[in-house]
Amino acid sequence: MKYIHNNSLAETVDKVNEALFFGKEITKENKKEISRWLASRQGIRGSYWGMIAPTESDFETGIRVFTGEPMRTVAGTSHILGKESSRLLFMLGVNDKAVSEAISKSNRGFESAMRRWIENGNGEGKYCCAVCTASYWRHMAAGGLKNQKKRLGLGMKYLKKLRDGKGRWKGMPFYYTLLALNEIKIPLAKKELEYAAPGLEKLINRFNDKYGKRRRRLIEKILDPV
């Protein structure tokens, strides 16, 4: 299977995320190739605080996150793809000096951004916009960032305050948030999934396109966890 799309970081990240989400095997050779390619884009022009950089094509077209919600801004595109890429580098687990250095530098860059965020009076449980916040949670859930348990706990408390009483959260990208919650293994995240669960079953058969199939499978995982 072809994972790397040289003209699009977004497409590359999407293909790898799809394989991981549906439990498809990625060979050792493919993991190394993917990881080295991602690492080669760390800190180059277009990167967000020294993270993994999108391509020009990604900036021109905008992106969609794994569950289909769009991100059109340049900063958002750069940040989300940077975090999703750093997350994948950590998850693929390739033992390679260049890859390890890319992970370290990318994470240091984001920690610098987070320090500025906090200095400006913001909390550690969220970051920037709603879509960026969900990508931040996904990265922390995979590992590789500092104070993950504390930050995720603060994030879940923040999310609880956004409940609309109808199984959703005000302003948050619904399915991308569910995707993050399903990966966060702390009790507060489970509480938010329990809050959303009653309304999910009626949604399960609504989807047919690529993103719809992912949403349906996500709902199945939430309603019937292994």
Residue 206 pLDDT greater than 80, yes or no: no
For the chain, the domain total comes to: 1
pLDDT reported for residue 72? 87
Give the model confidence (pLDDT) of 82-99 as tens digits: 999 999 999 999 999 999
Mean pLDDT rounded to a whole number for the chain: 95
What one-letter code names the amino acid at 170?
Answer: K
Residue 3 inside a domain? The answer is: no
Residue 7 pLDDT greater than 90, yes or no: yes
Residue 50 inside a domain? The answer is: yes
Residue 57 inside a domain? The answer is: yes
Residue 138 inside a domain? The answer is: yes
Decide: 202 and 196 in contact? Cβ < 8 Å: no
pLDDT reported for residue 50? 97
Q: Count CA within 13 A, CB hemisphere, residue 119.
A: 6
Residue 96 inside a domain? The answer is: yes
Give the model confidence (pLDDT) of 122-166 as tens digits: 999 999 999 999 999 999 999 878 899 999 999 999 999 999 999
pLDDT reported for residue 204? 81
Residue 2 inside a domain? The answer is: no
Above pLDDT 70, what percent of the chain? Answer: 100
Residue 1 inside a domain? The answer is: no
Give 81: exposed, middle or buried? Use CB within 10 Å, 0-12, 13-18, 19+. buried
Residue 149 inside a domain? The answer is: yes
Residue ranges making up the domain that contains 211: 9-223
59 three-state secondary structure: helix
At 185, list the tokens: 């293994």
Give the model confidence (pLDDT) of 15-47 as tens digits: 999 999 999 999 999 999 999 999 999 999 999
Q: Any idea what DSSP says for residue 195?
A: H
Residue 207 pLDDT greater than 80, yes or no: no
Q: Measured between alpha carbons, how far apart are the two ends of the chain, in Å?
A: 27
At 145, list the tokens: 């960032």
pLDDT reported for residue 175? 98
